[in-house]
Structure 1
Amino acid sequence: MDPALGPVSISYEFKKETWTRTFVLSFQSLGVVYGRLSTAPLYVFGSIDPKDIESREEMHELFSFVFWTLTIIPLLKYAFIVMRADDDGEGGTFSLYSLLCRHVKVGLLPCNKNSGKIVHHEEESRKEKQESKARKAIEKHKSSHYLLLFLALLGACMMISDTVLTPAISVLSAAKGLGRSLGMITKKFFSSDKTKHHAAELLKKYVPTPVACAILVCLFTLQHYGTNKIGCMFAPIVIVWIFFMCGSGLYNIIHWDHEIIHAISPMYMLRFMKKINLRHWKLLSSVVLCIAGSEAMFADLGHFSKKSIKITFVCLIYPVLILTYAGQTAFISKNLGTDEVFHIRESIPNKALQHVFTVLSLFASAVGSQATITAGFSIINQCQALDCFPRVEVVHTSENVRGQVYVPDANWVFMALSLAVTIGFHDISPIGKATGLAITCGMLVTTSLMSLVIALYWEKSLLISACFLLFFGAIEAMYLSTSLLNFFRGAWCLTILSLLFMTIMVSWHYGTLKKYEFDIENKVSVEWLTDYSPGLGVSRVPGIGFIYSDVVTGIPAFFTHFITNLPAFHQVLIVVSFKSLPVPCIPQSQRYLVGRVGPKEYRVYRCIVRYGYRDNVRDTDDFEDHIISSIGEFIGREEYDLESMTSPEGKMMILDSPMEDGCALIAVTEESSSTGDIQTLSENGSRRNLLDSNASSEITHSPVKKKKVRFLLPPKSPTMRISVRQELQEIIDARESGTAYFLGHSHLSARKGSNFFKKFLITSYVFLDKNCREPPVALNIPHAALLEVGTVYTL
């Protein structure tokens, strides 16, 4: 185990979820999670070519596929099995991958390199796990590590691509209904039948696309309000929509074909399979759209809770969907012969209600896109925290639910791509083919990773894991094959989108990994700073110097480059490393690891700031105060820790509780001349209060005034040694003298003779790095105190 890191117990804090909170979250989930599943009837049968349906029996057989697909995939697989594998309330393919990285040694990401050394998990995870042959095989073969990372990236790409396609198909399908309604209204103003028909056709052809684009712009513009407000805003629309569709479905079943209830028998599917041919097989590519949005049930877990999502689906969404599809099938089966019959608008029993439906479907389709947009934000947040996506701004929109995020840059990219898809295709059929392929690929990835979680994390038998993989994988593979048959009818669009996002992720991961390996190989030992640097005539200047580095041992190469050219550094040096771990969140009390670098007299310290992919670290401005306070506590405790005195690199110490003997620094918060609260910054109590007071100050006061924190020595205590008091005083004096920040600015370039693939990845990484919207470290560093040291990395 790396002595600089040491074992740390990560304990998660679970808030008891009351039934009132569950009800509120269930209500909000209607407007976010289930908007897409509930609006899928707009395009499931609407994407079928009417010429492909030849008889009433075929519609009954297709409904049987819809019924059992909804029952097996969203209900059985996601609601009752997959959602049990959440990562501390976080879902999605990357949460499954992070579970495997922590419990099986398969991590390839830079943040995973020391995850096994840094994190010890919940009680059941601390127990010795049985070294099965499967576990040994996966840990031994490097190819399996790459395969798992590829699966995680592929699943993320499918989810992000779906975020582009779903708004396009949902809104465009509703806009098609508007075109039909306008066409019907226009006929009243013309006397000639030919003119009526021509005007109606023009409206149906040219109105939907501009209307859909306008709705898409409004939808993506609303995203900055956050999940909480959007959920409350959209949920009433979904409630009206599902009851409207439920009533229409019941009417159609009773009025048109009550025998449709018999089609829930699996015998109807067997009849379909017996006479299967290429035409029938392609029909299933439309059926799979009925489960569009199921993956979002799992990916959106961070925004809500398992209980709220499961209760809403089982008690409301699932039965409503069954009734809606049954009613639509009953209407179609009795009215075959016209092209319009497959659009759900035609199944509304009253012409006046059809116009109401048209308006309602426009709003509902916008809501239906919300599930994948929200899931896309969550996936990008996870990918970025695990070093698989470029640095973009992540806005945490809720103080109570840490998983609710908004990514502005991604939002506008999604909007641009969705508009391009809508304008480029202006038809729901090809977009539906691409969406179906994205759905099945994403679900297959989840099934594959989930089977490994069952065997390696839940430690169930390989037989159970294999049965899960074969049962659900076979169904999803069947739908995947039907989607691939329509590759040239629109599914090719997904290939372009997924290649775009995969290139971004792979390039960023490759560049980050190679840069990390270069830093590790070129770091210098502590002895270089303590023994060799005095020979260069290095002088110590007053103040504190913060050195930001990815390496957690030794001295980063860029700082030695700085000292060689400018032989001086501050009287107190603090080497700071931000480490993202493959866990959702790390408690504030266990976020800081502090240790000493070199002998005491050199006053060089190391602080590792750890965070999970749900932690909001970039919105905090007082990291410097926390770090200095943590170092003060470390100095006070070090005297009682003999191991830290003998370790050559210094023992990394976690400060999970405040010192009771008054040996730490005292922080004085100066807000104004009239107030000056004195607080001792500690990891479990008053330090958190300081964060809360900062947050409340920003909300209630305008303009915002940054608080200044000064440190004082504690009152004289008989337990505090003179050497400790002297070292703490030096820290205070250095802080008063000023602070400087050292940051390495790397320039990557490919070595001559490198192959095209390597050059392409490095070039892509350099382009992405230059255009990142966020700085490489979380602190808001003043430009006047920032010293960037440029280094060239030839890979």
Structure 2
Amino acid sequence: MNSHKHSQKLSAAGLLISLGIIYGDIGTSPLYVFKAIIGERLITPDLILGGLSCIFWTLTLQTTIKYVVITLQADNKGEGGIFSLYSLVKRKAKWLIIPAMIGGAALLADGIMTPAVTISSAIEGLGLIYHDLPTVPIVIAIVTVLFVLQQFGTSLVGKAFGPIMWLWFTMIAVLGLVYVMQMPEILKAINPYYAYHILTTNPEAFLIIGAVFLCTTGAEALYSDLGHCGRGNIRTSWVYVKTCLILNYFGQGVWLWHLQGTKLGDVNPFYQLMPDWFLLYGILIATVAASIASQALISGSFTLIAEAVRLNLWPKVKINYPSEQKGQLYVPSMNWILMAGCIVVVLIFEKSVNMEAAYGLSITVAMLMTTILVSVFLMRKKVPMYIVVFFLVVYGILELTFLAGNAAKILHGGWFTVILGLSIFAVMWAWTNGRRIRNRYMKFADVEEFFPILTNISTDESIPKYASNLVYLTSANFNTEIESSVIYSIIQKHPKRADVYWLLHVDVTDEPYTMEYEVDYMIPDKFIRIDFRLGFRVEQRVNVLFRKVVEEMVAAGEIDITSKYKSLEAQKIPGDFRFVVIEKNLSNSNSLRFIERITMSCHRVLKMMSMSERTGFGLDSSFVTTEQVPLIVDIPEPIRLKRVK
């Protein structure tokens, strides 16, 4: 935790880490933004100055003011990202889960698009040197290597990310500055009049705004990676990054100024800024920067999924920790889904210019959802209502305009992102609602009613001993309650005698790194409940945590876990522990509404594909028994059975 806090302090190392982790996506946007703005249009002074003005003000309003100044305030004990934000505000209203899920789904869809777009844009520069070079196989090869390497962790390459991205930003700034110095009057495009003029006079204003939006696509990453870098490092490094980006865009504007009255065709203004002798080096640096941008998004997707699992918004999936680095995790299932998605994108669209149509749509949706959640956060922080309304109206209008501009892309490839986002949202929806429906039919009993019978079973030697310590996981939030299924398992299904019965409950807190527990001796030395409070970024290794708690209780003399078998007791050997995991299955029911039945069918499929609770909670399979218990939904019809002689 200390190293985590240390990396968040404002320092040269922190600034370098910020450059490497955060700015990959937004930093590589000069590769394709201006090319997308010009498109097939005739190059005119209005288009160049209007495009530059739109870029400058989008980066200022959207990235600087909304994210760097306002949204970074919404840190959850130092952590950022849409699910951290949701954890901060979810108690305000139940419906807030919807924008959280939509935003999460949109960011994951973006994680599939970004590597394909950025790497394709970088590699296409090779066409300037080697004409007719097939870029698709090269892009697929790089994407494949990138995803295969994920399982080994990125701590080694991660150390090189900062210096490489610093080289990238310095390079694009110098390339742009050389051209800006040739024609300093290009800087007049900072005047917002030019943005207003092109958006009100150009019949293709919506298409232009959709292309302009690509310059801020990585803004969400600034907030998502708050936990890795810290607010001070992000705000300070952004000043440098924004300066480099603006210089490069304005440099491209100067280059385009000499092409008035013509069309751009397949030419990429970004690579035209480079002298011939530098082109190969420039393409190499661009490719590495694009790979780093992709890496940052892939890592971000893993973190997003891990948080979604802990918040019960996504099925339990295997999560690995490939290196000692804080926050470094690897989700195998998500890795291969992202890889397949990226390859499909490259095969369908082939060129970056075609991908740009599908790109940007999902991230606009994510930003709109962040705006909604930030507004609620500002209200929670007692910010004056008129400021909250002003924030919501200004960014609502701005982002809805961007969304309308990007919606024009749906027929030109945006349909792919829509399908992606909807599929991911459908998984979240089915999983959360399936759980909600199941929980609705879960029956709880008053635990105190069963104290006498549990004490009697524990001492009844006519029942064969099942385990010295019998452990159940419970979802009962109150220690006065217990699931009927647990009582059924101990008393009726197969009476289970044990020296000590344990109940373990895991509560996921709204803070990222909470690790607390509470012990309740319900029947002293016989029936004990432990409540774990774990942050939404903490791995739920119940087996390890439970062992640690028992060790502390033994050391404090609160419990004696020595085996009660005479031969073992004499040798002071600890008794055995056995976990019972109860899987509750909803029986087919006609009382559920049609939509609920579909939801439960999807939930059942997702449950079959996801990890079992045993694996999800890190329980040692050699000490676990899994029991299936039906959740009876329908009250059975009275059976009219007639006995005949």
Report whether the alignment pairs 1:223 with 2:150. yes
| Cα 1:735/1:534, change in 2 over 3 Å | same
Distance in structure 2 (CA, Å) of the matches to 1:331 and 1:782: 64
SS class of match (1:504): helix
Superposed CA deviations along residues 48-85 of structure 1, whole A, max 9, x for unmatched, are 45432441221111100001111111111111111011
Select 2:194's aligned residue among 265, 268, 271.
268
| Cα 1:555/1:272, change in 2 over 3 Å | same
The answer on whether the counterparts of 1:579 and 1:608 sit within 8 Å (CA) in structure 2 is yes
SS class of match (1:46): helix
Select 1:149's aligned residue among 97, 100, 106.
97
The answer on whether the counterparts of 2:362 and 2:417 sit within 8 Å (CA) in structure 1 is yes
Task: State the partner residue of 1:586.
Answer: 514
The answer on whether the counterparts of 1:158 and 1:438 sit within 8 Å (CA) in structure 2 is yes
Task: State the partner residue of 1:250.
Answer: 177
SS class of match (2:578): strand
The answer on whether the counterparts of 2:155 and 2:325 sit within 8 Å (CA) in structure 1 is no
The answer on whether the counterparts of 1:665 and 1:711 sit within 8 Å (CA) in structure 2 is no
Task: State the partner residue of 2:576.
Answer: 738
Task: State the partner residue of 2:638.
Answer: none
The answer on whether the counterparts of 1:172 and 1:428 sit within 8 Å (CA) in structure 2 is yes
Task: State the partner residue of 1:693.
Answer: none
Amino acid paired to 1:265: N
SS class of match (2:470): strand
Select 1:428's aligned residue among 342, 347, 352.
352
The answer on whether the counterparts of 2:43 and 2:259 sit within 8 Å (CA) in structure 1 is no
Task: State the partner residue of 1:95.
Answer: 84
Task: State the partner residue of 1:503.
Answer: 426
Deviation at 1:221, TM superposition (A): 2.3
Deviation at 1:154, TM superposition (A): 0.6
SS class of match (1:80): helix
Amino acid paired to 1:572: V
Report whether the alignment pairs 1:259 with 2:185. yes
The answer on whether the counterparts of 1:391 and 1:776 sit within 8 Å (CA) in structure 2 is no
Distance in structure 1 (CA, Å) of the matches to 2:628 and 2:448: 21
Amino acid paired to 2:289: A
The answer on whether the counterparts of 2:41 and 2:263 sit within 8 Å (CA) in structure 1 is no
Task: State the partner residue of 2:44.
Answer: 55
Amino acid paired to 1:271: H
Task: State the partner residue of 1:570.
Answer: 498
Distance in structure 2 (CA, Å) of the matches to 1:434 and 1:531: 64
TM-score by length of 1: 0.73
The structure 1 segments of at least 4 consecutive aligned residues displaced by more than 6 Å after TM superposition are 12-15, 18-21, 535-538, 730-735
Distance in structure 2 (CA, Å) of the matches to 1:483 and 1:235: 32
Task: State the partner residue of 1:237.
Answer: 164
Distance in structure 2 (CA, Å) of the matches to 1:32 and 1:14: 17
Distance in structure 2 (CA, Å) of the matches to 1:450 and 1:251: 40
TM-score by length of 2: 0.89
The answer on whether the counterparts of 2:474 and 2:503 sit within 8 Å (CA) in structure 1 is yes
The answer on whether the counterparts of 1:86 and 1:96 sit within 8 Å (CA) in structure 2 is yes
Further displaced range: 773-782 or 173-182: 773-782
Matches within 5 A, 1:279-318: 279-314=204-239, 316-318=240-242
Select 2:125's aligned residue among 177, 190, 194.
177
Task: State the partner residue of 2:637.
Answer: none
SS class of match (1:154): helix
Measured on the aligned residues, the alpha-carbon RMSD in Å equals: 2.9
Amino acid paired to 2:628: G
Identity of paired residues, percent? 25
Distance in structure 2 (CA, Å) of the matches to 1:466 and 1:428: 38
Task: State the partner residue of 1:160.
Answer: 108
Superposed CA deviations along residues 503-539 of structure 1, whole A, max 9, x for unmatched, are 11111111222333333x2446331353489599784
| Cα 1:783/1:567, change in 2 over 3 Å | same
Amino acid paired to 2:283: T
Task: State the partner residue of 2:407.
Answer: 484
Distance in structure 2 (CA, Å) of the matches to 1:734 and 1:508: 47
Distance in structure 2 (CA, Å) of the matches to 1:574 and 1:734: 21
Distance in structure 2 (CA, Å) of the matches to 1:261 and 1:20: 35
Select 1:772's aligned residue among 610, 615, 635.
610
Where do 5+ consecutive residues of structure 2 fail to align? 634-645
Distance in structure 1 (CA, Å) of the matches to 2:569 and 2:544: 17
Task: State the partner residue of 1:659.
Answer: none
Deviation at 1:226, TM superposition (A): 3.6
| Cα 1:495/1:335, change in 2 over 3 Å | same
Select 2:281's aligned residue among 353, 356, 380.
356
Q: How many residues align?
A: 623
Superposed CA deviations along residues 530-568 of structure 1, whole A, max 9, x for unmatched, are 348959978473611111122244333333333313123
Task: State the partner residue of 1:556.
Answer: 483
Distance in structure 1 (CA, Å) of the matches to 2:601 and 2:234: 43
Select 1:460's aligned residue among 372, 375, 383.
383
Amino acid paired to 2:359: T
The answer on whether the counterparts of 1:250 and 1:327 sit within 8 Å (CA) in structure 2 is yes
The answer on whether the counterparts of 2:586 and 2:631 sit within 8 Å (CA) in structure 1 is yes
Where do 5+ consecutive residues of structure 1 fail to align? 1-11, 107-144, 184-199, 634-661, 667-709, 713-725
Deviation at 1:502, TM superposition (A): 0.6
Task: State the partner residue of 1:22.
Answer: 11
| Cα 1:790/1:546, change in 2 over 3 Å | same
Superposed CA deviations along residues 327-376 of structure 1, whole A, max 9, x for unmatched, are 01111121242434751344224222223222222222111212322221
Matches within 5 A, 1:112-123: none
Distance in structure 2 (CA, Å) of the matches to 1:494 and 1:213: 19
Task: State the partner residue of 1:670.
Answer: none
Matches within 5 A, 1:644-793: 663-664=557-558, 736-752=574-590, 754-773=592-611, 775-776=613-614, 779-793=617-631
Distance in structure 2 (CA, Å) of the matches to 1:430 and 1:530: 71
| Cα 1:247/1:354, change in 2 over 3 Å | same
The answer on whether the counterparts of 1:516 and 1:551 sit within 8 Å (CA) in structure 2 is no
Distance in structure 2 (CA, Å) of the matches to 1:446 and 1:772: 28
Amino acid paired to 2:186: I
Deviation at 1:161, TM superposition (A): 0.7
Superposed CA deviations along residues 485-515 of structure 1, whole A, max 9, x for unmatched, are 2211111111101111111111111122233
Matches within 5 A, 1:180-191: 180-183=128-131
Task: State the partner residue of 1:378.
Answer: 303
Distance in structure 1 (CA, Å) of the matches to 2:402 and 2:208: 10
Deviation at 1:626, TM superposition (A): 2.3
SS class of match (2:626): strand
